[in-house]
Structure 1
Amino acid sequence: MTEEVGRGTVLAGRYRVDEPLPSDLAGVSVWRATDQILDRPVRVRVLESGAVAPALDAARRAALVTDARLVRVLDVGMHEGVGYVVSEQITGASLTQLVERGPLTPDQARAVVGEAAAALEVARRRGVHHLALRPSVVHVSADGRVLVSGLAIDAALLGAPPGDARTTSRTDAVDLVRLLYTGLTGRWPAGRDDALAPTVQPAPVLDGLPVPPAELAPGVPNDLDTLCVVTLGPNQDGPFSPGDVVHELEPWGEIRIGRPADDDRAAGEGAVAAAAAPAVEPERPAPPVRVARQSVRSAFDELPAGAPLPGTPPPAAPARGGIPSGRVERTGVLPAGAAYGAGAVPPPGPPPSHAPEPDFWDEGPGFADDPFAFVEDDEPRRRFDPTALVLVVVGLAVLIGLVFAARSLFTSPVGDRDPVADDTPSQQEPATPSEGGATEPTPQETVDEAPDPGVPPAIESVRTFDPTDPAGERVANVELTHDGDPSTFWFSYTYNNPAFGGLKEGMGLEVTLAAEAPVSGVTLNVNGSGGNVEVRATTASTPTEGAALGGGPLGPETVLDFEEPVTTSTLVLYFTELPTNAAGQYRIEVTEITVR
């Protein structure tokens, strides 16, 4: 018999249910609870109906993924016929609450969705997908940390059918772009299931597609607007995994939209109430720690009579042959009655100029002049002075260095001297005057002045160009094409077929050399294969003018050799067909360009 869970219910003899929280899934109740064993607050989802068994299995798989941006699953089990999932407490307002106050700034929307995409990419590499992303599962804490809840669990509760890795990755990628649309506009674009975001206003639709974000909110950057339009458009275009979304959004800055909310309790109150809360006065820095200082004089003044001095060594061993007559043994402890500080009155007796008293007075300066004189030895110790030895060694080293320097100065290295050339006059023919009276250079001089053909022309810059867009296509990170690091690469937009999705005939890269130089070929290192590229000695303004110097399909190392060298300062690599990368996407990924 199924027990009804309510306030005070203890699940599995451990988790005490305290307070209900909002839930947007049918057959699921959410509770604030207390782990009575570890004495900590937790969040419990009680699965009362629906696909309970698949949801519990999905929760176990989600518990294997570790990332600070994913809500951690702590326990999974059954109690009196009811399934439950215990997770850490969720802090901060959800994206649903944040957009109730209005759209986020583009920078903040980029950062929030970028952090969520990075977390889901970690889960994807462990074989776990969300498949039920919506604004209510993305939270932003007061310290700017993003938390994503419901990984794999919500999809199982909704009865999402299983799919292959490509389909599930694409689903999460599209849903992340829908979240980006919501952050930019405050509206939720229509998708597979509109019931996933019932509290967010729907986005307006034009010809069956969501209206571009830039038409709803001012100041939306072109890259974010294009990402939303392409991904939510009629074609299967845009990112195919959360990692692709990360690449499209990076880099992003600090998140500053968090509000001090008491975890899920703010869910019922709304983000507006949280924003209206009185500001908390920032904590003042603690005053610097003061270290008590004590002078040496006061340390001696506070010692009781007869106490050993602080910091003095243990008593020294007596000198051989006994103590000389008329002297006292000098130890690390003063004789009784001798621990006097400044201003103390010495014991009665004859002054120091008379014969010394064996109990107190001694030769040399008194204790008042040097309080540490009593630790000196009776006779100075003889120590070895290494100064003379060091000077001798240094002198020998300098002398040896001078000898070697003289030998290298007056003796040529082996192979640099020609005995015949030293003893006989030069066999080189003198320069002969030409008919005009000028002296013609010798063959040897002509060889020395010729340029070195082994040095390749240096690339000064690379920029993208697009016949349909004067700004170029994906201008970010184009410098990675010639940074000398094959692990980094520039990539174009992703299209749904090799012919650029029918949007244009091609696009390209303009390579500018540091100086005009003869060029005999170009080498392209590309991730993927297929497609087609042509190279010409022209500029981006006229990419198809002139004969193609080389061309062909792309591969990991595409070598384009010219029939004859061409002297130029600019080259154009014009791509007329897209290759396919390792993930099956139609886009260009150039790791390195080398000009020969």
Structure 2
Amino acid sequence: MIESEVLVSEVVGRGTVLAGRYRVLSPVVSDLEGASAWQATDQILDRPVRVRILEHGAVAPALDAARRAALVTDSRLVRVLDVGTHEGYGYVVSEQLVGPSLARLVAQEPLTADQARAVVGEAASALEVARRRGVHHLALRPSVLHVSPDGRVLVGGLALDAALLGDSGGDARSTSRADAVGLVRLLYAALTGLWPADPRTPQTPGGETLPPAPIVDGAPVAPADLVPGVPNDLDTLCVVTLGPNDDGPHSPGELVRELEPWGEIRSSVSEPATPGGAVTALFPPTGAAAPGGGVPVPHEHDARDTAPVTVQRNSVRSAFQQQDPPGANRPGTPPPATPARNRSVGAAAVESDTAAATTPLPPAPTPTPRPQAQPQPQPLPPPVPPSVQRRPVSQTTSAAPAASSVPPVAREPRPQRQPEPEPQPRDDDPFDFGDVIGADNGPPSKNRFNATALVLIVVVAVVILGVVLAFRALFSSFDPASGSADEGPEPSQSAAAPPVAEPSEGAPAEEPPAPVAAPPVIASATSIDPSDADGEHEEDVAKAFDGDPGTYWYTQTYKRDDFAGFKDAVGYVINLAEKTTVSTVTLRTNSAGGNVEVRATDAANPTAGTVLASGAFGPDTVLTLNPPTETQSLVLWITQLPTASDGAFRLEVTEIELS
């Protein structure tokens, strides 16, 4: 152990620059064996960062876990900024941890119930976000939970600490349950100032620790028996979850529902500046002495438990809720206004209206009034200048003014005329056909358009066209191109059509074609990672055969096509609905290059049996099995990573088809 520390100090120490960017400054406390922590600065972005140097142990799984943790984005999770190696040692760069840990917060006195609920509730919300991305912590303890000076909860060591401790997790249910129990242990520690360690797991040596909680009958003593004033719901939650039975929440999301609602983390804490390392409590004690002595000054948080505080918080629901759809509750566009209809038809009327609007009207004789088919009393329009006044054709016109300078004069209402004998009835149709085809009996105007003549011309043209087509169809048999009796003998029936073979009496009847076998159906799939029991992006394996080319299953991203030396290969297991003969495997990917092998085996023995097909990846990779094999599961064993569209080494499979 001493020799290893000496070797590390020779490679990484104060002033060491990692990846030509991160300058190491000073060491900080680390409670994990085989890993040291350092304060550093990012020389490119000029910001403080934290560097973890992985000295020995499960270095490759830890680096891979850090890469998976970097895919989870939440303001309450310490972000992983970079992962790499330096002279044989792995390192992980993350944002700086600010504020005291939970262990230092409760060193003097436990937190109040509402603050313990808020701190652990925010941590549970963050880990639920990570769980939905397939990443778990699995190493929760008081030293990884921090409260920043602005009242923000920070959880560090996501997935990385568990890999350094050699905990590879398990299935999705057991890992989610482990994080939920770990969060309840943090709640117990926040309420009591004692750590209810798991008796099956030895406490992690070194670092910031708390006194152990008393154990009775294999379970920690209830928090209400140790600290007065613990609410009944929190006490029951700790007793049930940390008891001998598998009760309580089974995921961080279920714990969120048990704890909510919670209020604001109302006080912030700063790192101690005194050499003794004393930590200011989350809430200063009631009646703290005023600076310089004198009468104690009541603290502003003395009545913090008298009324709940409701504030807007970033919970797990707000992290996953769907945003309001764009355009919701937008006012509709009003329909366009109905344009005024000009009853005068024809280009001549338009031209005359345009000319009247631009030039003054010359003196015109009074036209003879024309009788209407039916009186249409209408309200008089407001007076308008004579130069732009328009009159419907169907109404009786009045004499135009002699000059444009004559001011408008109010006209008397026109007397209604007696209707003609047997007038044509008019319906409520807004279009007046009488104005177009001769409802007026007055003398015709030279500017009127005669629609009857146009209709007659169209009808005559259609009749002539129909007659021509009928004659052509009738006399088409006399067309020389079609052949006639004058050109020669009529071809024989055998020449016109090939003879149909008559089946003989003794010959067997022709068998119907064999039905085409249905393609194999993929029932499920799973991924194999030799270095991690969780596989590679297990939550997305079904996207490779969901019929949607826009979704895909993908591997982790590496700097080299040989998985950067962390593993030899990655597997993808295809489970069929029933045992079927498989001839070809078609892979549609967003990657190019690499190598894949196909075997008729299962997840328990992914490299068993012979290689039935192999090849490189491409947009459409067709792997033909030699020979076609009857099986119920296939393993795609990726021995070399292809190149993705961004230049990194990663496989992205959009669709898998079998035949």
Same fold judged by TM-score > 0.5?
Answer: no
TM-score of the superposed pair, with normalisation by structure 1: 0.45
TM-score of the superposed pair, with normalisation by structure 2: 0.40
